[in-house]
């Protein structure tokens, strides 16, 4: 037992060392620097809570938090609906299952920056051409307002991530005992009744995992926001990650950006852990 324990920690130590150097140490230093006037090179003064008081008085940061929160709510709902729907499609007995799985998952393999520029071309050029042909004025200037910019980011994110969430649901759907479904069919249960009373409760753990992933991803999104709208117009579609990066590297206010990052970390942690707690509790009740 002692040898196995030693081997376990021996092989795990490089991972723990890397995690500590890359994640834990920078996090601790960043938290300390958020109480100072750190400029990226040195600390001159200890400011206490001044940076934190300042960020709660900054309208641009609060707007970014609200925009990100709205986006996260919509994206989580739509991603889980689309992911489950795609999983239900590709787990049916059809010949093109493997092909469809590949097609649905492929957008996830494309980088966020590239996807942003692709969809920027679609929203501006393609939508503009369609508007000219059909006379639908609403398609013109699709990314020129905060509302259309918001839905543009939502569409891009759903197109990219739905296939990834689909894979999680597939893993649970394929483990549902076929006998239960057959018994329900024999008893006269409709397709909706089978989904509601058998399929959905049995894929509840997948919902917990996918909701956690989509929540954390939605709050941390940056590449797509940068390449699609760049926060425009007038920073109305700027998300929290972009606001932090701009504060640090455009305004050169490192300590203030670090204070924003600490608050951002707390928001994401509280939301994600609360979601996991209530979903796990619901799984037990089911």
Closest by CA to 160, choosing from 93, 226, 114, 229, is 114
Look at residue 232 in the predicted model and tell me its pLDDT: 85
Q: Which long-range contacts (CB under 8 A, 24 or more apart) does 103-108 make?
A: 104/162, 104/163, 104/166, 105/163, 105/164, 105/166, 105/167, 106/163, 107/159, 107/160, 107/162, 107/163, 108/160, 108/161, 108/163, 108/164
pTM for this entry: 0.86
Look at residue 283 in the predicted model and tell me its pLDDT: 59
Look at residue 1 in the predicted model and tell me its pLDDT: 47
Which residues of the chain carry a pLDDT beneath 70? Answer: 1-4, 282-286
Domain boundaries, the chain: 59-285
Look at residue 279 in the predicted model and tell me its pLDDT: 74
Q: What is the pLDDT of residues 201-227, one digit of tens each?
A: 888 888 888 888 888 888 889 999 999
Q: Looking at the domain that runs over 59-285, which CATH code has it been given? A: 1.10.3720.10
Look at residue 4 in the predicted model and tell me its pLDDT: 63
């Amino acid at each position: 037992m002692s040898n196995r324990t030693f081997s376990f920690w021996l092989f795990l130590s490089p991972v723990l060392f890397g995690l500590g150097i890359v994640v834990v140490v920078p996090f601790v230093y960043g938290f300390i620097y958020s109480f100072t006037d750190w400029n990226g090179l040195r600390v001159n003064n200890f400011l206490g809570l001044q940076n934190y008081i300042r960020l709660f008085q900054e309208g641009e940061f609060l707007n970014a938090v609200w925009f990100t929160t709205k986006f996260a709510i919509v994206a989580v709902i739509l991603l889980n609906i689309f992911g489950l729907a795609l999983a239900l499609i590709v787990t049916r007995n059809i010949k093109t299952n493997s092909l469809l799985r590949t097609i649905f998952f492929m957008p996830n393999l494309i980088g966020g920056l590239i996807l942003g520029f692709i969809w920027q071309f679609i929203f501006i050029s393609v939508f503009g051409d369609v508007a000219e042909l059909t006379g639908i004025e609403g398609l013109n200037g699709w990314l020129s307002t905060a509302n259309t910019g918001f839905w543009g980011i939502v569409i891009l994110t759903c197109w990219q991530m739905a296939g990834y969430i689909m894979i999680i649901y597939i893993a649970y759907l394929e483990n549902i005992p076929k006998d239960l479904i057959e018994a329900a069919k024999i008893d006269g249960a409709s397709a909706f009744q089978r989904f509601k009373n058998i399929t959905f409760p049995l894929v509840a753990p997948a919902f917990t995992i996918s909701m956690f992933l989509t929540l954390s991803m939605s709050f941390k999104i940056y590449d797509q926001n940068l390449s699609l709208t760049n926060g425009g117009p007038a920073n109305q579609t700027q998300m929290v990650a972009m606001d932090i990066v701009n504060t640090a590297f455009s305004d050169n206010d490192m300590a203030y950006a670090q204070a924003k990052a600490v608050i951002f970390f707390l928001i994401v942690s509280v939301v994600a852990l609360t979601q996991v707690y209530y979903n796990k509790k619901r799984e037990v009740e089911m």
